[in-house]
Amino acid sequence: MQTHTQTVAIPELAPNSAAAPEQFNKGRGHSSALNCRSVSTTAAKASENTEPVPQTRLAAPEDYREYFGVPPRTMAPAAFNQWARSITEAVNSELDQAALPTGERDLFREGMNVALMVLSMPGGGTVCI
Amino acid sequence: MTGTDGDFALNIRWRLGHRAFEVVLAALIKTLGLATEQLVAGDYPALCQSMATAAQLLASATCAMHFATDFDPDIYRGEVRPTMEPPNMPPGFSGTLNQRHAEFLQRYRSFETTIKIQFGNQLETAPADISAAWKSVVKMRSKSLAAHGLVCEKFVPGGESLLEQHVRKEKDKR
């Protein structure tokens, strides 16, 4: 298998930024670098993941959040916006390498910037695009 | 296609793409909430602007989907999908567990209902610019749904989602 040199910085959720930061800092095999469940594809294949995940219950929304490393709805807007900005930067640094359909790179870049503008609006207001 | 190894595909495409989708969803939730308020208040110029923003965000959601899945389907099936299956995850892992997406759907449907109550099912009584802006939103939403269907087909041709797989296994046990 070809080795990819990973240069993009994957932002993490600042431990003190969440409304309920403990949600990010507990859990099975948690990766502070990714802020999501520490599962590498190699580990997944070899079933060597750090701690067993309970199989006695169905997957729940917190599993989704933890797996993908996304904040809960209860996160304070300012902290969420900070996270959103870091995600946008990470996407921007990767976009030129991505094989997207024609025109989608610019569309994506602009759309993420519009999203940041919307999120930074206090309560109401209109975004001019 | 740029994803050449499993960890790259998992972290730099699959997870990062889903995080970008989350950012877009949060903005859509806010925009649609605002649009509903503007519609109720009769502030049509602002409403048109919000609908244009929503259409652009929906287009970005499609881009996020393409970005998240910019890697080889064999890597998805062999290396990424297993990270969402037992024993790495409880059974039934699914995109339906995304609470922001559920909230977006609720906002979208609420806005759709409100605008149709106001202007008719085909927006036949709406001013032309409102009607055009809504058509643009609907078009981008359709494109986004179609893109999701294509992504599923690319990664698991004709296959079951993990949730469907779990439900079937449970039925088979009985």
Q: Give residue-wise pLDDT tens across range A31-87.
A: 433 455 556 676 666 544 456 666 678 999 999 999 999 999 899 999 999 999 999
Question: Whole-angstrom Cα distance, residue B148 to residue A55?
Answer: 28
CB-based contact A36:B15 (threshold 8 Å): yes
A5 interfaces chain B, CB cutoff of 8 Å: no
What is the rounded average pLDDT of the residues B128-135? 98
Contact A44 B88 (CB under 8 A): yes
Tell me: cis bond preceding B127? Omega within 30 of 0 counts.
Answer: no
Q: How far is A58 from chain B (nearest CA, A)?
A: 5
Cβ B17 vs Cβ B67: under 8 Å: yes
CA distance A25 to A31: 9
**Closest listed residue to residue B143, CA positions, set B58, B36, B25, B56:** B58
Beta carbons of B23 and A118 less than 8 Å apart = no
| Paired tokens of A14 | 């600042």
* CA nearest neighbour of B75 among A4, A55, A65, A93: A4
Tell me the C-alpha distance between A58 and B18, whole Å: 21
Q: Which residues of B touch A87 (CB under 8 A)?
A: 16, 19-20, 22-23
Round to whole Å and give the CA distance between B76 and B130. Answer: 42
pLDDT at A17 exceeding the cut of 60: no
pLDDT at res. A20: 34
Domain boundaries, chain B: 6-173
Instruction: List the alpha helices (DSSP H) in chain B.
Output: 6-8, 16-41, 44-68, 73-75, 99-119, 128-155, 162-173
Phi–psi pair at A35, nearest 5 degrees:
50, 45
| Residue B19 near residue A68, CB atoms below 8 Å | yes
ipTM here: 0.90
Question: Residue A82: what pLDDT?
Answer: 96
Write out chain A residues lying below 8 Å of B50, CB-based.
126-127
CA atoms within 13 A on the CB side of B126: 26
CB contact under 8 A, B90 and A59: yes
Task: Grade residue A27 by pLDDT with cuts at 50, 70 and 90.
Answer: very low
8 A C-beta contact, residue A71 and residue A83: yes
The mean per-residue pLDDT over the stretch A15-33 comes to 36
DSSP B79: I
A125, closest residue in chain B (CA to CA): B34
**CA of B58, closest CA in chain A: separation in Å?**
9
Residue A114 half-sphere exposure toward CB, CA atoms < 13 A:
28
Minimum-distance CB partner of B97 among A10, A61, A71: A61
Of A1, A59, A100, Cβ closest to residue B67: A100
Instruction: Suggest the residue from B2, B10, B12 to mutate for an interface test with chain A (most A CBs closer than 10 A).
Output: B12
Q: Which of residues 19-38 of A touch B (CB under 8 A)?
A: 34, 36-37
Per-residue pLDDT at A39: 63
**Which tokens hold the place of B20?**
């970008």
8 Å CB contact between A91 and B40:
no
pLDDT number for residue A29: 38
